[in-house]
A = this chain, B = another copy of it.
Amino acid sequence: MDAGLLKRWIVGRPMPLAQARHERLSKTIALAVFSSDALSSVAYATEEILLVLVLAGAAAAHLSVPLALAITGLLLIVVVSYQQTIHAYPSGGGSYIVARANLGATPGLIAAAALLIDYVLTVSVSVAAGVAALTSAFPALHEHRVAFGVTFIALIAFANLRGVRESGRVFAVPTYLFVGTFAFMVATGLWRWLQGDLVPLPSRGMAETVPLTWFLVLRAFSSGCTALTGVEAISNGVPAFKPNESRNAAITMGWMAGILGVLFLGITVLAWALQVTPSEDETVVSQIARALFGRDVFYFLVQGVTMLILLLAANTSFADFPRLSFFLARDRFIPRQFANQGDRLVFSNGILILGGLAAILLVAFRGSTHALIPLYAVGVFISFTLSQASMVRRWMRKRGEGWWWRVGLNAVGAAATGVVLITIAMTKFTHGAWIVVLLIPTLVAAFLTMHRHYEEVATQLSLESMEPPPPLQNTVLVLVGDLHRGVLKALQYAQSLSGNAKAVFVESDPERTHRLEQRWAKWGMGLPLIVLTSPYRSLLGPLLQYVDHILEQGGDNHIVTIVLPEFIPARWWQHLLHNQTALLIKGAMLFRKNVIVTDVPYHLKH
């Protein structure tokens, strides 16, 4: 009962199923819920580009602007492609669904594995970056960053266990604060730059450690591609929009891409204009805000909203991971427990697993955004590529109105994201991408194994080509070791089950048998007492022999019920003071086909 109360207090009152239909989001709220992941990458994408470029010396940093332009171009391609997906799949067009429908089961599962990994990493990376925004403002907290990160993950999981609409409402304000604050910062910065009013930050004197090669530039580009993570989130969540779902989702996605592109380019240009050098202790955004406004109220506002939008980004995964898990569980590729809706209409198991994995990753990588980034983009671009390729296939099959330009759009998307995927996998392989490259086939193999198991079970349990079976014959045995109230209750119970119930006693000492037999006349409830001898004082051996004997005589339609008297002590430690005979017998009978063991508990008072 106490555990139940605790659960009520944490996740709130249960909601009846009828309430499910009303959990829909307006465009404004949906932008907050689904776009925070994509928007929040503004907080770290520029920094990740610079971190690679400055390996070739501070002079190479000017390449960040053309790279950001290229990435923004890629963003446009991806978003236009996905808007087509949203219209084609109004009931939710995640890469799993789309790839499975158009390319087949295995490509679908590859996309699913990539997405699941991506969702976990979104939580870890966003929370790590959110904590970095906090510790940039308050350097004393830097050493506690892992503890902060784990706490944030726990709080977000908690919010999600309570249900999605509430989280949407709670989180809408900070998203718009973020957009407004960053837009103001970018506008102010660019205005002052155009006025020639911008003083570059003092150089930190980064030494050139490697030559500026094409490979390095591609690595910087790969790091910057994390700006695109989360762009697809809306296409997974179409059914959460108010009607008309597809149209609203596509419009929201357009807005999101516009905001993301402007802010990302703006921050990158400002970082270049201010000659920001990336550092372990302070984020690039923090350095820009400090250069523009000093450590004043507006600086802290920038850091605050950065942290909040990143925590919201983590929250996006808490909507999408459980939803994808539900699809996979429904299709029997992962344990069916992921298809159970909790009493607040959320998929609690998915939320808990996601929070747990993300926290483990965060601890393992010591809360460092940079260490996690190489794992991040691979999964995202696998799902992009598979999703676009699926759409190409779909249009070519359907050949509806304007199919040729639709094919063209998605083909460009597939080609672009495919090339980027290969670039990322190659340039980041040794930095951690190999983990994801190995994990995806492992997950796919696991999905297929579980699927085979569920199919097999369904076949074995199927009633097809079967006739209703004849009634069973049942021999009821009560195992007695003594005569007391607990045993009496078991004898009564056995009597209620069958008119031919028998009591069985395994003899360890003839004297005890004699005493029992004397008392049996009065207390035996009329059941015959069968005494089995046991030369080695084993209880189990003679009992098993006797049961097997009955089963052999009875044939396939015969079953043996063993009734076990068991007294239940009132306190846990008292269990240690009694022989665990019941457990022993249940264990021994577990794999015998036609034996059923029934405990008859007798509850002690104290």
Contact = CB atoms under 8 A, between A and B. Distances in A.
A339 to B, nearest CB: 10
A454 B577 contact: yes
Interface in A430-487: 450, 453-454, 456-457, 460-463, 466, 468-469, 471-474, 483-486
A590 B568 contact: yes
Contacts of A508: 17
Given A457-B604, A471-B496, A17 B466 contact: no
A207 interface: no
Interface size class of A (residues with CB under 8 A): 35 or more
Contact of A596 (B450, B522, B599): B599
A536 interface: yes
A12 to B, nearest CB: 12
Contact of A461 (B335, B457, B484, B600): B484
A466 B487 CA distance: 14
Contact of A343 (B492, B537, B567, B599): B537
Nearest to A598: B598
Contacts of A598: 596, 598
B579 A341 contact: no
Nearest to A457: B604
Contacts of A522: 468
A578 to B, nearest CB: 7
A471 B495 contact: yes
Interface centre among A15, A337, A472 (most CB of B within 10 A): A472
A538 interface: yes
Interface in A83-105: none
Nearest to A595: B601
A340 interface: yes
Contact of A577 (B453, B461, B579, B593): B453
B488 A472 contact: no
Nearest to A591: B603
Given A536-B343, A538-B343, A576 B457 contact: no
A14 interface: yes
Nearest to A470: B492
A488 B474 contact: no
Nearest to A490: B596
Contact of A567 (B457, B472, B485): B457
Contact of A496 (B457, B472, B525, B579): B472
A456 to B, nearest CB: 7
B538 A14 contact: yes
A515 interface: no
B462 A484 contact: yes
A525 B336 contact: no
Contact of A497 (B474, B535, B568, B597): B474
A196 interface: no
Nearest to A461: B484
A3 to B, nearest CB: 10
Most buried by B among A341, A453, A495, A579: A453
B559 A496 contact: yes
B474 A15 contact: no
Given A460-B604, A536-B15, A577-B335, A472 B495 contact: yes
Given A17-B508, A461-B567, A593-B603, 13 more contacts: A15-B536, A335-B577, A341-B537, A343-B537, A450-B577, A457-B567, A461-B484, A463-B488, A472-B495, A472-B496, A473-B496, A474-B496, A596-B601
The 4 lowest CB-CB distance pairs between A and B, nearest first, are A461-B484, A474-B496, A14-B536, A472-B496
Interface of A: 14-17, 335-337, 340-341, 343, 450, 453-454, 456-457, 460-463, 466, 468-469, 471-474, 483-486, 488, 492-493, 495-498, 508-509, 522-523, 525, 535-538, 559, 567-569, 574, 576-579, 590-591, 593, 596-606
24 contacts: A17-B535, A335-B578, A336-B579, A343-B536, A453-B569, A453-B574, A457-B569, A457-B604, A460-B485, A461-B485, A461-B486, A463-B483, A468-B522, A468-B523, A469-B492, A471-B492, A472-B493, A497-B497, A497-B498, A568-B590, A596-B598, A596-B599, A596-B601, A598-B598
